Amino acid sequence: MELAVLVAASAVVAATRSRTAKVAELARLLTLAAAAGEREVLLTTAFLSGRVPHGRLGVGYRTLAALPPPAGSSTLTLADVDAAFTALATAGGAGSAGARRATLDALFSAATADERDFLAGLVTGEVRQGALDGIMQLAVAQAAGVPLESVRRAAMLAGALDAVAAVALTDGVEGLQRIVLEVLRPIAPMLAASSPNVADATTLQGPWSVERKLDGIRIQAHKRGHEVRVFTRSLDDITDRLPEVVEVVAALPAETLVLDGEAIALRPDGRPEPFQVTGARTASTRDPEQLRAQTPLTTYVFDVLHHDGRSLLDEPLIARREILERLLQPENRVASVVTDDPGAAQRFFEDQIAAGHEGVVIKNLGAPYAAGRRGGSWVKVKPRHTLDLVVLAVERGSGRRRGTLSNIHLGARDGDGFVMLGKTFKGMTDEMLSWQTTRFTELMSDDNGWVVTVRPEQVVEIAFDGLQRSSRYPGGLALRFARVLRYRDDKTAEEADTIETVRTLAGPVSDEPDADA
């Protein structure tokens, strides 16, 4: 299938707010892709969901700032993009940077202006057309003529919708029913909704399991006999990096297991290290035993999805907890309290914050494990941090945001100047995008074609989940999960928060290099 056909469909989907129209257009395209084969369906599903199924491509905003001119006419196919992305993802060793650059230039020079915008958005995670998995699942069900629930369940058990779409359009319901939980194949993890406080999270009748929320790495551990595999939240296999997790799981008294939990680095006093310490450890591919000696990880398990040949996905949490209590030693269980008293839940939350943890997750004891879904059965409660920062620059949007100024660079006051702490496009409404495009055009002081530098005058209120040490930014700190709350026209840049305030919020941080170093 031609890339131009997919890009045109993406534009149609982005241009309408109608859910029905989005689904119809996506279903039409999936039907076209099915005529070309299963791989075309997989790629179409992934690309239109904003995903690259090839893994990390090693391409960022800075790389895309220097591209050759676009093509005047469309010649690219999905197969061409597939081959280029495969080459980018597998490039390694001496000369890999040059090979990656050549591959990228060849791909983008063959793309028209519209195709370049789509591809740029795809590789940077900025395809924004309102076609996330919920819409795409509806489209797959419509194109294949199968029940939506069959698609949803198969997608959670397979770990991603992309391959499931190909099965649905090829083999229908019968093919989807053959997709079951398999030990050693990861599934999409259950996700938690958010609540601003414990009171709002406990409005439904208890009792609840109120559990410590750890700021570690989400892991899914599988055991079959003597074989253990450990996967991340994004379903990457990191078994070889976590020998201490493998040892804990291997020692458990079961033939087959699938567990959900966290791995986290702790200080000698038992308090958690900053997330970045855990993240750097689990991201590193250096000698795992040497890393283990330097930064040991503690394994915590909070759920069990399969036990000795039996899937537990449809069992209530209270039954799954009973199995965990029989399987695990206390030091590997996540701290929790079962209560129907909102006051007791609030006190437990306060204890976790005092101990240095993120907060709590409040869980419905009667709920099954809704893999890959975010609903009201799990609700996380964390303190929300906010800062008033100054916009230093803004990046031109791509895909659905083409023609706008989108990703903002954030700075804190530092003496007579400003120091950058990160950037974000999260939390922006269409109205906010329109407003800031006008505003930052007025404040523009430089433009390199991708990044627009602006006069440091506009204050923005930013919510974030934490801070980590960073060698990327001069201030040595970076915001985690920053998102825009509102623009502060009532404040001048001189009233923005200082880097000293940010450092106070950060408290003691690790000297470990960040993952970007």
Tokens of 142: 């419509």
Tell me which of 257 and 482 has the higher pLDDT: 257
Over residues 341-363, the pLDDT tens digits come to 999 999 999 999 999 898 999 99
For the ranges 64-78, 232-246, 269-283, the maximum mean pLDDT occurs at 232-246
Buried residues in 122-157 as b, exposed as e (16+ CB within 10 A): bbbebbbbebebebbbbbbbbbbebeeebbbbbbbb
Over residues 113-168, the pLDDT tens digits come to 999 888 888 887 666 554 567 789 999 999 999 999 999 889 988 888 998 999 99
Please report where in the chains the tokens 């609903």 appear, as a residue.
375
Catalytic (active-site) positions: 213
Confidence band of 507 (pLDDT split at 50, 70, 90): low
Tokens of 314: 């449809």
Predicted local confidence at residue 368, as pLDDT: 94
Lowest mean pLDDT among 3-7, 59-63, 377-381: 59-63
Q: Cα–Cα distance between 60 and 473 in angstroms, integer? A: 16
Predicted local confidence at residue 90, as pLDDT: 86
Q: Cα–Cα distance between 276 and 261 in angstroms, integer? A: 18
Predicted local confidence at residue 481, as pLDDT: 83
Confidence band of 94 (pLDDT split at 50, 70, 90): confident
Tokens of 97: 């940077």
Does residue 414 register a pLDDT over 90? Answer: no
Domains of the chain from N-terminus onward: 3-177 (1.10.3260.10), 191-381 (3.30.470.30), 385-506 (2.40.50.140)
Over residues 303-321, the pLDDT tens digits come to 999 999 999 999 999 999 9
Q: What is the DSSP code string of 350-407?
A: HHHHHTT--EEEEEETT----TT-EEEEEEEE-PPEEEEEEEEEEEEP-GGGTTSEEE
Q: Residue 33, exposed/middle/buried by CB under 10 A (0-12, 13-18, 19+)?
A: buried
Q: What is the mean pLDDT of the chain?
A: 88
Does residue 416 register a pLDDT over 90? Answer: no
Q: Cα–Cα distance between 21 and 24 in angstroms, integer? A: 5
